[in-house]
Chains A and B, each alone.
Chain A
Amino acid sequence: MWFQLLTGREQLLDRVLGDEPATPIFGQLLVVMVAGAALYGAALGSWHGAQLAAYDAFKLPLVLLLTSAFTVFFSWVVSRALGLSLQFSHVAILTFTGLATTAVLLASLTPIAWFFTWCAPIPDASARTTHNELYLFHTAFVAMCGVGGTHTLWRAMVRLPHPRRVVASAYVLWLLAYALVGGEMAWALRPFVGSVSLEHPLVFLREDALTGNVYEFIGTDIAPYLWSR
């Protein structure tokens, strides 16, 4: 499946949108998604050592899985509302195809992510700037791969026998849902890079994981801070 995503996407999309049983394709895409994201996750968490690397190798695939789980129903409703001829299983597999492509892209960037993380000064209270740089760097990488992954989704959707305007509307709405939910999932499952503050020891999940959300945090913390500078 890994190589089919890279070299035989058109055949894969034929399978995805055809009458082939969905379960085997679904399983194969799941394996690729988990493997690719786990590889990148390990590099992402390695700044704080093996423990966070192991946590992140588990949590990054989880972010992708939960994002797809929380958006798939909405995506299906949108496709029905816009008149697209997609069954629920098609929507689910298309979502997984996009996320599996994202995971393959992440895996290809793992050597670079690992090198940057390895070159970063050790995480202590004085390394706040490094923490922020790493945070921005990984966010940019994951976002870039996410956009790259949805390119596969777009190529699949333009094959549908519907006006391009309708397909584009559905694509944009799916994308917005992924971005909105993906950002929040990553926030709820933090830490990924790992804090340098003693207030936040290394844990799998923070106790306040579901207290507040990332967009509130941006609105009440980051934006006012940047505004005041």
Chain B
Amino acid sequence: MTGHNEILAVEPRGVVGTLDELLRRPMAGTERAQAGVSVRAWTIRVLAGSVACWGLYGAAGGFFQGGAQVAIAAAKAPIIMLATAALCVPSLYVFGLLAGASLTHRRLAVVLAGFLGLVGLVLVGLLPIGWLFSVSSTSLSFVVWLHLLLWGLALFFGGRFLSAALPEVPSGAVLLWLTLFCVVSFQVVTFMRPVLWRAPGAPVVEEGKLFFLDHFSAVQK
């Protein structure tokens, strides 16, 4: 109870402090939202920190080609995450409500920000590994598989957070939504291609429509 009161009373200031709290006490934001404390600033700080985390991870991925692609990948990664989140928010809201969660807009915002923040933090934790393999690998196919693996790991932790933040929602529904989020992210990556490697003189965003499965097949070749 004392810990709960502490969480309500002491809200960290600054983006780094908020992300640190998210890592150490992931439910702090949700508890504040449930207690009726304003969480707007907290949500904005977590989202701002998440954007920075995704940008850093994107930059690490861009080192596969190096040069301008580092900056391009750093810019694209947050766009990919935000677009994916925007497309998947309605389904999270409806899945949550249908599963019996009392999901207000405030709670939804905090849960979503926490999920995105935690995914971002795990990606930053994996950043040295991503960077190491990006600078040393020569096979695009290999780094794609590596990023898929790291992405899966980040989503696993994001899923754990979602399950804890929405205990009313059955784990099957959380898993279903995570799968949806993952598949949508693949299509958004395809839409924003090329992210890791760009042919000389090729545009920053390739024109032409493509399904993610076809894109993946093309990358494997």
Contacts and interface: CB of A to CB of B under 8 A. Distances in A.
Interface of A is mostly: helix
A148 interface: yes
Contacts of B190: 119
B167 to A, nearest CB: 17
Interface of B is mostly: helix
Interface in B169-221: 176, 180, 184, 187-188, 190-191, 208-211, 213-214
A108 B209 contact: no
A227 B184 CA distance: 31
Contact of A115 (B98, B102, B184): B184
A112 B98 CA distance: 19
Contacts of A108: 90-91, 93-95
A7 B208 contact: no
Nearest to B212: A119
Contact of B209 (A110, A119, A129): A119
A119 B211 contact: yes
B211 A151 contact: no
A79 interface: no
A49 interface: no
Give chain B's interface residue range (CB within 8 Å of chain A): 20 to 34
Give chain A's interface residue range (CB within 8 Å of chain B): 20 to 34
Contacts of B98: 6, 9, 101, 104-105, 148, 151-152
B41 interface: no
15 contacts: A7-B97, A105-B94, A107-B94, A108-B95, A110-B90, A111-B86, A112-B87, A112-B88, A115-B188, A116-B211, A119-B187, A122-B209, A130-B214, A133-B211, A148-B98
A121 B187 CA distance: 13
Interface string A77-117: 00000000000000000000000010011011111100110
A209 interface: no
Contacts of B214: 129-130
A172 interface: no
A116 B176 contact: no
A203 interface: no
Given A108-B91, A111-B90, A115-B87, A6 B97 contact: yes
B1 to A, nearest CB: 29
A152 B95 CA distance: 12
A74 B208 CA distance: 49
B174 to A, nearest CB: 14
Nearest to A117: B209
When A and B form their complex, which 3 residue pairs have the shortest distance between CB atoms, in order from nearest? A108-B94, A6-B97, A108-B90
B91 A121 contact: no
Contacts of B184: 112, 115
Contacts of B87: 111-112, 115
A205 interface: no
B206 to A, nearest CB: 12
B76 to A, nearest CB: 16
A109 B97 contact: no
Given A6-B98, A116-B211, 11 more contacts: A6-B94, A101-B98, A107-B90, A108-B90, A111-B86, A112-B87, A112-B180, A119-B211, A121-B209, A129-B214, A144-B176
